[in-house]
Structure 1
Amino acid sequence: MPFAHAVMHEENGVFGISFPDFPGCTTGADSEEEAIRKADEVLTFHVAGMLEDGEVLPVRRSLKELLSDPEAKEGLAKGVLFLARYELPRKSVRINISMDETLIEAIDRAAEHANQSRSGFLADAARQRIRDLLKAE
């Protein structure tokens, strides 16, 4: 399982986490433990989104390289550095589910409109719902 640098900082009882090599990927929580758990989840979804968009994942920088980056150095001065794990997407697995027929028709119309397969559309919808739930925590 790959790792990425993460920086945890605390302000007024809220723990925030950012990832110097993944700009824009952040999370927060009310406890250190929850923040660390969410870091792994958020980073995994961020990486999956990057790969879906055809982006190349950054190579984890060394501590020396991080400290030579003024922006990263500033973040490190205000927080604690740790390694967060993330999972790379794996092969698709066939599943069998039951849904209301009308909902399936609506999904198929929306998928066609988005130039996606039903499976791709449902996977994207599930990822978005999971992201929304993680943000709400």
Structure 2
Amino acid sequence: MRYAIVIEKSDNNYGAWVPDLPGCVATAKTVEGVQKRIQEAIEMHLAGMREDGDPIPPPTSQVHYVDVAA
């Protein structure tokens, strides 16, 4: 499966979250680090859902960009 992730810059690090998996988040000092950690978090989140017998939600979020004048 392929889930969309959102990466945001804060003052001290980067945070990532998954719109289709509420509560699935990660942080790291770099973009590369947070990408690795959110992938691990997704895998762990899905494993926990399977273990609990919860249905795995299909990826439904889409990412698009809009160009606007600055």
TM-score (structure 2 length as normaliser): 0.83
The C-alpha deviation readout for 1:60-82, integer Å capped at 9, x for no partner, is 1142xx78xxxxxxxxxxxxxxx
The C-alpha deviation readout for 1:12-36, integer Å capped at 9, x for no partner, is 0310000000001101001111000
Structure 1 vs Structure 2 CA RMSD: 1.6
**Contact 2:4/2:19 (<8 A) preserved:** yes
Paired amino acid for 1:11:
S
SS in 2 for 1:3: coil
Tell me how far 1:3 sits from its aligned partner: 1.4
1:37-116 to structure 2, matched below 5 A, reads: 37-63=36-62
Q: 1:3 and 2:15 equivalent?
A: no
What residue ranges of structure 2 are gaps of 5+ in the alignment? 65-70
Q: How many residues align?
A: 64
Distance in 2 (alpha carbons) for counterparts of 1:27 and 1:62: 18
Identity of aligned residues (%): 30
Q: Which protein has the bigger helix share? A: 1
Partner of residue 35, structure 1: 34
Runs of 4+ in structure 1 over 4 Å off = none
Question: Between Structure 1 and Structure 2, whose CA radius of gyration is higher?
Answer: 1
What residue ranges of structure 1 are gaps of 5+ in the alignment? 68-137
SS in 1 for 2:26: strand
